[in-house]
Amino acid sequence: MKAIVCQKPDDLQIIETEKPILKNGEASVNIKRIGICGTDIHAYKGNQPFFTYPRILGHELSGIIEKVEENGKGFQSGDHVAIIPYMHCGKCIACKTGKTNCCTEMQVIGVHKDGGMVETLTVPVTHLIKTDRISLDEAAMLEPMSIGAHAVRRSSLKEGDKVLVIGAGPIGLGVMAFAKYRGAHVIAMDINEERLAFCRSWANVDETVNAKNDPIKQLSEMTDGDLPSIVFDATGNIQSMNQAFQYTAHGGTLVFVGLVKGDITFHDPDFHKKELTLLASRNATKEDFTNVIGAVKDKKIQLEDLITHRCSFNEMTVQFEEWLLPQSNVIKAIIEI
């Protein structure tokens, strides 16, 4: 079968590899859609933590079960499914307390182990979700949206909270959408006016801020001088993440959704003066996937409009470099098989 492998930074190749052998408790899934995300881009450019080469990328996945043995989950050949790519051990302190998203032995497919840019992938049935009533495109978008949903759930956001989401990429858009879904007053911040316009049209945010134009002044005016009570940073940018402490209200919460390969610093007297709560939000749990698929089925969140670019499996290695160009205006790109 064919696979797309990142041999080293800036080097993607289509290769021939052996079809995986189905093991007990697994399903063989014919991959149909593969979303491209920041993790894939960072890996391609050599900026991804927890990463070794060569690696088959891809963890935003949907497909059709080719073969599955008798199982207690009700899966059958022909079922349309999405894949939860976070392979946890089930034994560590995090797993025992239900925090499988931050397992001490976490193996994310496409990051720590080979991923889904393949024609067929074997997956434990425990990491599959049936996606009847939604499209293959929508099913591939469940994973990035679940990351946003997890961040919102982790923040303990309440209806009516004024929140700021920094970064209008797919993860930030997911945070915005689920913050709105939970009844928050949402402010989107980015440096790209086209992205901010998309935040208004797709995520229905209440207000937008261009970070180039005195953001603290703008945020203060929007919140009657209080600043947002919850701030989500989904940029994966050190400068933005360091600056985010200044945007958070006294007694507020700052949630780092994006991951950066470096150190985050803040001025401790200001941090203590505000008595801020600082949270990391990593990956998602099955509960988050279930919440997202419910919102999609109920037409509360439209996922297909996120997809702005697509190509076939065989075109991907050529198309990928073009998608990285700012003028491509990619929101979400997807590979079809």
Q: Is the pTM value of this prediction over 0.85?
A: yes
Distances (CA, A) of 160 to 104, 182, 252: 35, 9, 14
Give the integer Cα–Cα distance in Å for 85 and 144: 11
For the chain, where do the domains classified as CATH 3.40.50.720 start and end?
Answer: 148-280
pLDDT-derived band at 38 (thresholds 50, 70, 90) equals confident
Question: What tokens appear for 232 in the block?
Answer: 């989500």
Give the integer Cα–Cα distance in Å for 220 and 162: 12
State pLDDT tens for residues 12-23: 999 999 999 999
State pLDDT tens for residues 120-173: 999 999 999 999 999 999 999 999 999 999 999 999 999 999 999 999 999 999
- Its CATH architecture, for the domain 148-280, is 3-Layer(aba) Sandwich (3.40)
Question: What tokens appear for 251 in the block?
Answer: 């007694």
State pLDDT tens for residues 174-227: 999 999 999 999 999 999 999 999 999 999 999 999 999 999 999 999 999 999
For the chain, where do the domains classified as CATH 3.90.180.10 start and end?
Answer: 2-141+303-336
pLDDT-derived band at 69 (thresholds 50, 70, 90) equals confident
Of the candidate CATH numbers 3.90.45.10, 3.90.180.10, 2.60.40.1180, 3.40.190.10, the domain formed by 2-141+303-336 belongs to: 3.90.180.10
